[in-house]
Structure 1
């Protein structure tokens, strides 16, 4: 790459960054995420829909599929297990793999539960933060109380 090309790339990048970092303007009509990026803001309705999807679809699905995996793996372990003192090494390997799988399913269910709870508490947390900041600013304001 020639030096002139490198300088042009740096200049183009700097111009793009400075244009995207201006804070004294409204967000574009398509959202504030910039070109091709979604807006990070979400509505209470979107949070409720996400909470409902976790509660009604994801959690039951993960629990159901985890149970199904336990049943089928248990059957395979039994089929490959020792009969008359002889069995396949596969049975022990499947059993250990399933123990790891069960831990992962439990962790996923816990994560889904905490995400569901966090979605429900986001509005409250943001409102409390706003009130706290307003209280702090009111204490420091010279105009307050006049």
Structure 2
């Protein structure tokens, strides 16, 4: 091995060690999650806007596009279907694929609905939890004579 190669290997190792040292350090004050914004923070207004977007845009769009796909797929299945005892294999395969797709669309709509409900109920749940904790603490205080 030539002397120059050895120097390059040593230099590469030094760079690698420097990078791994940086990876083993804590994030700078203020967090390390890009743009200086906290990752899990969310305002009630943002949750309400997200629930409204699901209700106004996503659910109607998925339903509308699902109906359109059902109509066009049905037309293709009929066009390729058996006529006078003969038809294309594509017709049956497309029909089975569309049945699977329809199930997935229904699952997506169910998921959107549950997410919308969760976004809408989050503020209420937190408030109810706080009220419940306050009530339990008040009972404990009364029992202990505080």
How far apart are 1:82 and its partner, in Å? Answer: 0.4
Provide the alpha-carbon RMSD of the alignment: 2.6
How far apart are 1:48 and its partner, in Å? Answer: 1.1
CA deviation vs aligned residue, 1:58-117 (integer Å, no higher than 9, x gap): 101100100000000000000000000000000001100100110011000000000000
Aligned residue in 1 for 2:79: 79
Please give the alpha-carbon distance, in whole angstroms, between the structure 1 residues aligned to 2:135 and 2:21.
44
Instruction: Indicate the structure (1 or 2) with the bigger Cα radius of gyration.
Output: 2
Q: 1:18 to 1:64 in 2, by over 3 A?
A: closer
Aligned residue in 1 for 2:93: 93
How far apart are 1:37 and its partner, in Å? Answer: 6.3
Higher relative contact order (CA closer than 8 Å, sequence separation 6+): 2
Please give the alpha-carbon distance, in whole angstroms, between the structure 2 residues aligned to 1:50 and 1:82.
47
Aligned residue in 2 for 1:102: 102
Please give the alpha-carbon distance, in whole angstroms, between the structure 1 residues aligned to 2:50 and 2:75.
36
Q: 1:125 to 1:35 in 2, by over 3 A?
A: same
Unaligned runs of 5+ in 1: 21-27
TM-score w.r.t. length of structure 1:
0.76
Unaligned runs of 5+ in 2: 1-8
1:7 aligned to 1, 12, 17, which one?
Answer: 17
Secondary structure of the equivalent of 1:7? Answer: helix
Structure with the largest fraction of helix: 2
Q: 1:128 to 1:71 in 2, by over 3 A?
A: same
CA deviation vs aligned residue, 1:7-64 (integer Å, no higher than 9, x gap): 322221223x2535xxxxxxx5xxx663336432111111111111111111011001
